[in-house]
Structure 1
């Protein structure tokens, strides 16, 4: 069964909400303290609270994460810059930042690697960019950090936008650095 773009976006919006709620409650994923759960231990109360907190998320990084998660399942396409026709790694990052923040980023991973502030792996926060050496040259691949050691990216020919664990040996060995883009950086008016 082939889903059209709006069906895929609806399906992934639900997945994005679930993951965003999970990231919100993961103390390692956010730089702010997670909210306190209500004293009432009923499942309904916790569910209602989680939904209410999800609606309250205004953190700019969460805008990036939710926008990126809405791209899950989009086909990889070399040079692709649109979810309608497919995205490559830098096309995904460029598209997500434009949609979430109105920020124009350069076209290639190596060009994007020169924008923003260089940060260490231990400083990563959701919305930061992670770079990898996948083509025997520095900064040949880029993804968006989601928190809890996970990042989202558009992998390669035949693949789809997906979430990966940075601690998998393949990615760990190829990690090339990270950057933090300010919400107003390269913004177009």
Structure 2
């Protein structure tokens, strides 16, 4: 095979350029769900003792817990929908935060976040009560705590829109790739 070199040798400059473009393209595709890292919001409380509810301003949403199953049902409707960078509809495909936005739009009529970091700002940390169906799970896939996200569906699984060439799918939390990149769980439910 003329022009090709065996493994111990460095690749040709042309192959290095192709690899560089491939890596850059892969990073751009994976960045579809990424956003600048943010600090989780402080647990803001009103005089009544509940979190305030403006998603656009960074305050945590606080939806009724009874809406969890409606969110999950809506999410499961779009499993196998193709990944599309910037996508947020069944017709146009989904990226990870677009999937979340679309699913929550079906149970909440207010203004909603779009990026993973905005979703982190608009949700509360899951602590004492533990992870429940409908909670969000966040992963560090690109060097930031909120690079990727999905919706926990129970039984150790979550649904997410993975990357270019993939489809919305259900994956185990203990999947080796995701287990070591898990950042935290957060919730929009009271």
- TM-score of the two chains, using structure 1 as the length reference: 0.63
The one of 110, 123, 126 aligned to 1:119: 126
Q: Does 1:179 pair with 2:181? A: no
Size of the alignment, in residue pairs? Answer: 126
The one of 75, 78, 90 aligned to 2:85: 78
Q: What's the offset of the Cα at 1:163?
A: 0.2
Q: What's the offset of the Cα at 1:78?
A: 0.6
The one of 66, 69, 75 aligned to 1:62: 69
CA RMSD of aligned residues (A): 1.8
The one of 79, 82, 93 aligned to 2:100: 93
Name the CA shift for 1:156/1:62 in 2 (closer, same or farther; >3 Å).
same
Name the CA shift for 1:120/1:175 in 2 (closer, same or farther; >3 Å).
farther
Unaligned runs of at least 5 residues, structure 2: 1-64
> Is contact 1:128-1:144 (8 Å) kept?
yes
Runs of at least 4 residues of structure 1 off by over 6 A? Answer: none
User: C-alpha distance in 2, partners of 1:126/1:154?
Assistant: 17
> Is contact 2:68-2:189 (8 Å) kept?
no
Report which of the two has the higher share of helix. Answer: 1
User: C-alpha distance in 2, partners of 1:103/1:155?
Assistant: 26
SS across alignment from 1:67: helix
User: C-alpha distance in 2, partners of 1:143/1:158?
Assistant: 17
What aligned pairs does 1:79-158 form with structure 2 within 5 A after superposition? Answer: 79-120=86-127, 123-158=130-165
Q: Which has the higher contact order (CA 8 A, sep 6+)?
A: 2
Name the CA shift for 1:96/1:122 in 2 (closer, same or farther; >3 Å).
same
Q: What's the offset of the Cα at 1:116?
A: 2.0
> Is contact 1:97-1:103 (8 Å) kept?
no
- TM-score of the two chains, using structure 2 as the length reference: 0.62
Q: Which has the larger radius of gyration?
A: 2
